[in-house]
Amino acid sequence: MITLWLVTLLWAFSFSLIGVYLAGQVDPYLAVFIRMLLASAVLLPFLRIRHLTPRLSLRLAGIGAIQIGLMYLLLYHAFLYLSVPEVLLFTIFTPLYITLLDEKVINRRPIPARWWLAACIAVVGAAIIRYQPVSANFMLGFLLIQGANLSFAIGQVAYKRTQLGSALQQTQVYALFFFGATLVSGMGVLLFTNWELLPATSIQWTVLLWLGLIASGVGYLAWSIASKKVNIGQLASMNNMLIPAGLLVNYLFWAQDVNWTRLLIGGAVILFAVSICSYKIKTQQQRIAQDLD
């Protein structure tokens, strides 16, 4: 869980950086492609695929194409219609998508009721923090964000249920994940890029380097490995911790107003959702330890 928390803090900067320095200034297709290309470069030196079957290689590339290639194309376009707080607001349904996909598509069996409860509580907690009136363009922005949420959820569930071995073995094949995302974003560049909106300032390039090398290259690898060590309820609930983390970053670095009452109450509700999924696991571990003694 500690890795998921650390990556959440890392990703908390992404929403504001995209909204402030890239949205409307750098073509979204090109911004996503550069980000994925940089992330691929980080993992390429570790690539070892001799032990992978062609089918598993294609599966991993496909997961990356959907989870971050398609997701980022939709997300970056949403910033053209929504403010950063509105984007954060519309991400609150991701835990429900993750839980539903894992139950109906992957496992095809009922998920424990407490995991459903945790996902719903996480949505409520996020809504407490971020509920506000939305802009006139909210419907198109909302649909774009829901497409991004669904893509992100599909990728997380599929990766978690794919057998890839130890953390070291996952690191050695993770470049394939970004190759898939790079391919999707590259197709977007070829078909739709507005070449008048190229990165032109040192700040824009610095933001792209941060997003590509650190937030993506390091962040997604760490998140994906950690996702295999928690249950689906914990993973779903942790997705909404980005909302209070993102708001804190907005406040601390860009002086955005924060409703501290809502932030504290909503954050506590989300933490409670995570704890619901963790309680039974801790109890089982304690019982095993007692039996061994």
Reported as a single tens digit per residue, the pLDDT across 197-252 is: 999 999 999 999 999 999 999 999 999 999 999 888 788 778 877 777 777 777 77
**Beta carbons within 8 Å of 213's beta carbon, 6+ residues apart:** 38, 39, 41, 42
Tell me the one-letter amino acid at 243.
Answer: I
Reported as a single tens digit per residue, the pLDDT across 230-243 is: 888 788 778 877 77
Q: Which is more confidently placed, 132 or 216?
A: 216
Asked if 36 contacts 216 with a C-beta cutoff of 8 angstroms, the reply is: yes
Can you tell me the distance from the alpha carbon of 36 to that of 40, in angstroms, rounded to the nearest whole number?
Answer: 6
pTM of the model: 0.80
Q: Which of 93-97, 188-192, 200-204, 273-277 has the lowest mean pLDDT?
A: 273-277
Q: Which is more confidently placed, 38 or 108?
A: 38
pLDDT at 140 over 70: yes
**Beta carbons within 8 Å of 262's beta carbon, 6+ residues apart:** 128, 129, 130, 131
Q: Which of 4-18, 154-168, 230-244, 253-267 has the lowest mean pLDDT?
A: 253-267
**What sign does the CA torsion over 76, 85, 226, 280 have?**
negative
Residue 293 confidence (pLDDT): 42
The mean pLDDT value for 26-48 works out to 94
Domain coordinates of the chain in residue numbers? Answer: 2-292
pLDDT at 126 over 70: no
Q: Which is more confidently placed, 92 or 111?
A: 92
